[in-house]
Structure 1
Amino acid sequence: MGGSSSSEQVAETETPSFFTQEELNKLKSDFDTGGVEKVKPLIEKKVTDLDKTELNIAVTGESGTGKSCFINAMRGLRSDDPGAAEVGTTETTKEPTGYPHPTLPHVHYWDLPGTGSPEFRAARYLTEMKFKRYDFFIIISACRFKENDVKLAKEIKRLGKKFYFVRSKIDFDLYNTRNEKGVFNEKEELEKIRSDCVRKLAEAGFPDSPVFLISSFEPKHFDFIQLNEGLEGDLNNVKKRIFVLALPNLSVEIVQKKSKILRKLIWMFATLSGGMGAVPIPGVSLACDISILIGAIVSFRKCLGLDDASLQRLANRAGKPVEELKATVKAPLLEEITIDAIVRFGWGAAVVTVSALEFALDFVPVIGSIFGAGSSFLMTYKILSAALKDLTENAERVVKVAFETD
């Protein structure tokens, strides 16, 4: 691919992709006839809808394949963390069990009852499991993919939804191979397992289905990250947003993906910040709606894993004292977010020197500068941009310390 101009790069990062073209046209039309006040309700509804977006992921397979461990790993939890799925118990339930994400309650992972019975009927199973509820299915096997896994995949495909084959407990496979053979080539052994799975699935009628080899206890290794990238790539913009924000912070790249998504929300918060409730920031002549500003920063902090509960979960996962992770985060990011904290961190200082012209060049190209550079909009936009930058940099440092990466 060739290079892009700077304006093209800005457009790529700033385009508000949560809106359809029809919605963008309506925003422009409403602004032309009624100004900012007329478009505020539309943007407020969009922010609310995004916050309420549901994502339901079904995890199925035979009992004992590691479904509970996988669900915990996807939520960044260990089995002894509050809210974790119970691990190692005999499966007796015949109903789906939903596990909400610890910080995004509209994201659910559903542990579906085992598919291992001889009388298994895929069509009846999916009806009983409320098939339409789920955005996609993850079919987990701890050895080879069984006949019931294939039956289920065929029925899911017939009904028009996505599914993914996951081969779990790869760490145990390698452990057993090491005990049996002593020295061996790990890469070759993994390729052997993968090839065997792919071949058997092809024989069953799935010649192009990838197989993800994972260990729920080692999510930074094997295909765990590749699986998440595959899931992300098959979701639409709105669902993709919530899926990425729900990912555990396993790498700097995940933090950066989250930051990019959050940046696309800033102009919406900025538009809502004008009018009633606008209060000057101490030391700055411009004003904004303080509740919107603080609420957005608190939300950004939680999404980037810098709130107390998220840091504790990451510390548990990484086997590090939580104080070691917190020591890498600059105050007042760990404190209550207040106007005083915003002033102390200097997020509003640069606003005074930013002209309307400079701002327009940095604004959302799809909308253009229809919202102008009103003081409340400008203030909120610049403060949130500065806050997100600092939060992102701190989240990246935390991940590096947690997993001892450069």
Structure 2
Amino acid sequence: MGGASSRDQRAETSNRLEDESSNSTSFTDEELTKLQSDYDTGGVEKVKTVVQQKVTELDNTELNVAVTGQSGVGKSSLINAMRGLGLNDEGAAEVGNTETTKKPTRYKHPNLPNVCFWDLPGIGSTDLPANKYLKEMKFTKYDFFIIISACRFTENDTKLAKEIKRLGKNFYFVRSKIDNDLDSNRKGGRQFNEEEELEKIRNDCVSKLQKAGIPSPRAFLISNFDLNLYDFSLLNKALEHDLPNIKKSIYILALPIISLEIVEKKRKELRKRVWMLATLSGGIGAVPVPGVSLGCDIGIVIGGIIHFRQCLGLNDSSLQSLAKRAGKPVEDLKAVVTTPLVGGEITLDVINRLAWGAAAATISVIEITLDIIPVIGSIFGAGSSFLVTYKLLSDALDDLTESAQKVVTAAFGTENDAK
């Protein structure tokens, strides 16, 4: 019985680490090869320097998303929704039907300040001709563009898309307020199949964009008030496919927590950071962990846990915003949280209460499978604080992910499971 349990545990750990290494580790293959070479020539300290540079790059890389369209199409509502904010939340973009913006307006992500959404006035809603519009809006600074329409895409929208393409940037057509269209049909007493109606709207958008000269256009149908409906997941997949490695990771971590699918995507991205932070801990500032003869850099562990908590939407402000959007008391969401890592300051005492000191018994399993992690397995062996930090952060991420899953289920039910 005990042997079977041990084998199962080893298999689970191995699968988890294989999951990490089979996905991007935020290093390219060339960078991993260089990492090995750096270790051969400069030892562990040189590797730590390279890893620290990568962590700094991840923390400091900016992602700038431009949202443009005519007044009243729902730009502000979409910007708020993609940041997980409601109309009355702090930092929310003002929603209205009057075009008040004559220049780009920046809205920072509430948990990731290097992620910014920019509200741009529609190309036909300013006094600027098209050739000056691109310069005034500083198009070269944005990573991609979302062009929104509430009914049909105009000649100005297609002209804008062509100029964006000329600059080598990606753009995505979003047809907003789809729920309003469907509600109008229902109120009119018309009998219709919702899926067929959505496909009709989608095909009409694509057909008109093709006629306007946009090659292979894609149009995504969105409800700004319920991102779980219609094509928001398809839009995310398109963006994730098109964005370069680090920006893709940042975009995923910035997504609002609205489904179990998104929680899982975030878990995979955060898992990539665990081994990097563990590498940085490697024996510096080691603080003994009860039940383990080794220590770790508690500052790195606590900083990692706080970052995980924010990205998974488990900080207090994110839970408040989620509760408002779901129409549930925030107490109902907090009631399903099962980890002491949520709701207060992260201290050594909090970590000790989780009884992770008992991880000493399972560290040998990680030692056996460390060679799955590129390069690092050959650098740190048994007796390293790398192992303790890795185990602590891995278990913290698992705990927080489980609570995030429960929060999403409490907020939206089970319908939003990964598809």
Report if the CA contact (8 A) 1:284-1:352 is conserved.
Answer: no
Partners of 2:362 and 2:66 in 1: how far apart?
A: 51
Compare 364-373 and 321-330 and name the one that shifted more: 364-373
Partners of 1:98 and 1:279 in 2: how far apart?
A: 42
Partners of 2:258 and 2:169 in 1: how far apart?
A: 28
Compare 362-371 and 305-314 and name the one that shifted more: 362-371
Compare 256-265 and 38-47 and name the one that shifted more: 38-47
Partners of 2:174 and 2:348 in 1: how far apart?
A: 47
Alignment of 1:399 with 2:408, yes or no, is yes
Question: Could you say which residue in structure 1 is the equivalent of 2:395?
Answer: 386
Task: For 2:345, give the aligned amino acid.
Answer: E
Compare 111-120 and 388-397 and name the one that shifted more: 111-120
Cα offset, 1:12, TM superposition? 4.7
Alignment of 1:349 with 2:381, yes or no, is no
Alignment of 1:6-405 (within 5 A): 10-14=17-21, 17-88=25-96, 90-117=98-125, 121-334=129-342, 335-355=344-364, 358-367=366-375, 369-373=377-381, 374-405=383-414
Partners of 1:366 and 1:93 in 2: how far apart?
A: 49
- Aligned in 2, Cα 1:264/1:177: closer, same or farther, shift over 3 Å? same
Point out where structure 1 has 5 or more consecutive residues left out of the alignment: none
Cα offset, 1:184, TM superposition? 2.7
Cα offset, 1:176, TM superposition? 1.5
Partners of 1:85 and 1:171 in 2: how far apart?
A: 21
Cα offset, 1:316, TM superposition? 1.1
Q: Aligned residues, how many? A: 401
Partners of 1:118 and 1:257 in 2: how far apart?
A: 39
Report if the CA contact (8 A) 2:290-2:357 is conserved.
Answer: no
Cα offset, 1:77, TM superposition? 0.9
User: Which secondary structure state, in structure 2, belongs to the residue aligned with residue 380 of structure 1?
Assistant: helix
Partners of 1:12 and 1:236 in 2: how far apart?
A: 20
TM-score by length of 2: 0.91
User: Which secondary structure state, in structure 1, belongs to the residue aligned with residue 337 of structure 2?
Assistant: coil
- Aligned in 2, Cα 1:224/1:286: closer, same or farther, shift over 3 Å? same
Report if the CA contact (8 A) 1:328-1:398 is conserved.
Answer: yes
Point out where structure 2 has 5 or more consecutive residues left out of the alignment: 1-10
Cα offset, 1:82, TM superposition? 0.6
- Aligned in 2, Cα 1:22/1:47: closer, same or farther, shift over 3 Å? same
Cα offset, 1:207, TM superposition? 4.4
Partners of 1:117 and 1:36 in 2: how far apart?
A: 57
Cα offset, 1:117, TM superposition? 4.3
Report if the CA contact (8 A) 2:150-2:176 is conserved.
Answer: yes
User: Which secondary structure state, in structure 2, belongs to the residue aligned with residue 264 of structure 1?
Assistant: helix
Partners of 1:122 and 1:361 in 2: how far apart?
A: 58
User: Which secondary structure state, in structure 2, belongs to the residue aligned with residue 291 of structure 1?
Assistant: helix
User: Which secondary structure state, in structure 1, belongs to the residue aligned with residue 253 of structure 2?
Assistant: helix
Report if the CA contact (8 A) 1:194-1:211 is conserved.
Answer: yes
Deviation string, structure 1 residues 101-159 (Cα, Å, up to 9, x no partner): 00000000100012224976433211110011100111000111101001001111112
- Aligned in 2, Cα 1:157/1:331: closer, same or farther, shift over 3 Å? closer
Deviation string, structure 1 residues 218-260 (Cα, Å, up to 9, x no partner): 2111112211221122111100100000001111111011001
- Aligned in 2, Cα 1:12/1:385: closer, same or farther, shift over 3 Å? closer
Deviation string, structure 1 residues 281-332 (Cα, Å, up to 9, x no partner): 1232110111111111111111111111111111111111111001101141
Partners of 2:335 and 2:281 in 1: how far apart?
A: 33
Report if the CA contact (8 A) 2:371-2:378 is conserved.
Answer: no
Q: CA RMSD in A?
A: 2.1
Report if the CA contact (8 A) 1:348-1:382 is conserved.
Answer: no
Partners of 1:358 and 1:143 in 2: how far apart?
A: 55
Partners of 2:126 and 2:169 in 1: how far apart?
A: 25
Report if the CA contact (8 A) 1:73-1:216 is conserved.
Answer: yes
Partners of 1:384 and 1:363 in 2: how far apart?
A: 19
User: Which secondary structure state, in structure 1, belongs to the residue aligned with residue 145 of structure 2?
Assistant: strand
